[in-house]
Amino acid sequence: MSVCLALLRRAALASVLTCTALAAGQATATAAAHKVIVDMDIGDDIDDAFALALLLQSPEIEIVGITTDWGDTALRGRLLERLLRETGHAGIPVAQGIATPNPTPFTQARYAQQGLAPAQPPPDAIDFILREIKRQPGQITILALGPLTNIGAAIARDPVAFGTVKQVVMMGGSVRAGYRKSQYVPVRPADKEYNIASDVKGAQALFGSGVPIVMMPLDSTQIRLDEVERNAIFGHGSPLTDAVTLLYHQWIDTYQPWSSNMPSLFDVVPVTWLLDPASCPTTPLRIAVTDDGLTREVAGKANAQVCLASDQPRFFNIFMQRLLAAPQKAQ
């Protein structure tokens, strides 16, 4: 029975991909590209790699640069150097963020260590963020996929310049639901989510900055990538899906045997929102970040647009269609 179900799901997936490809291409032709700086802690959990893969496969998004965040930011830069070079995107700038202690394992370190060491010191992430915002005021979206260390530092250094950012689209926080292993278990109360709790002061600076924020908390981002979809991606055979496959298996090799091999696509959700806001409809809320790392819904004027529930079929239509499409030209 399980084999039959898997075959039916594969057939449904193929039908969805075929039917949506033309419409997606037509939308791409008419939409203006989002200019995005991606601030990410790629290399620990695997969702960052899937998020970057989707970004690289989306012509609606112009990646202005990638800034490495949290932990060993130099090694994260080497991971990005290798992935971008081997997938034909070596022209995307990578800037090094603030290094911090990090208790989370760098699960994809072996891949990163085989990347090329920079010939010269990489740009400073804070300088890069502020320079690009000043150069293109009102046009830059910051896609914040890790702890908000670099963001908080940019606000502290030049709050006026940071205030001209178009928006910050982020994965982080927990508003009405906490972590859970399955959608079939009762919803937990709001938790201290990793990205917020790792740098509370950076999060408090962002939510107090007055810039437009689109927030994807645990409530909407705990979307699992199950075996059927994983096999379709891992068997696709493009340079990008091959890189993601290797990173996935290094992640599994580090965490086994005590974790599930089914990743949660936390960081992919804000990327799909950029491509199709209906994939994660938002509600205006006022969010306060407590000193112990909780994100509380409080009374008052909204300071964020918050997605409390994703449209998962719509999410997977976007995600799978893009990753299984022909490779996009280098940016």
Question: How many whole angstroms from its chain centre is CA 216?
Answer: 10
Do 293 and 255 touch, CB atoms closer than 8 A?
no
**Res 142: pLDDT:** 98
Whole-number pLDDT of residue 24? 42
Q: Give domain limits for the chain.
A: 2-323
**Cβ distance 93 to 128 under 8 Å?**
yes
Q: What digits encode the pLDDT tens for the residues 94-134?
A: 999 999 999 999 999 999 999 988 888 999 999 999 999 99
CA 81 to chain centre: 18
Cβ atoms of 187 and 174 closer than 8 Å = no
User: Is residue 61 a contact partner of residue 328, using CB atoms and an 8 Å limit?
Assistant: no
Per-residue pLDDT reduced to its tens digit, 220-254: 999 999 999 999 999 999 999 999 999 999 999 98
Which helix (H) or strand (E) element contains residue 63? Answer: strand 61-68
What is the rounded CA–CA span in Å between residue 135 and residue 44? 32
53 phi, psi to nearest 5 deg: -60, -45
331 and 89 in contact (C-beta within 8 Å)? yes
Q: Is 243 helix (H, G, I), strand (E, B) or coil?
A: helix
What is the Cα–Cα distance from 205 to 156, expressed in whole angstroms? 8
Cα-to-chain-centroid distance, residue 181: 20
Architecture of the 2-323 domain: Alpha-Beta Complex (3.90)
Over the chain (331 residues), the average pLDDT of each successive run of 10 is 42 45 40 90 98 98 98 98 97 98 96 91 97 98 98 98 98 96 84 98 98 98 96 97 97 74 94 98 98 98 98 98 90 66
Both tokens assigned to 258: 């005590």
pLDDT in tens, 1-13: 443 434 344 444 4
Please provide the DSSP assignment of 175-218 as one string.
Answer: SS----S-TTSPPPPP---HHHHHTHHHHHHHHTS-S-EEEE-H
Which two structure tokens, joined as six digits, stand for 241?
Answer: 């899906």
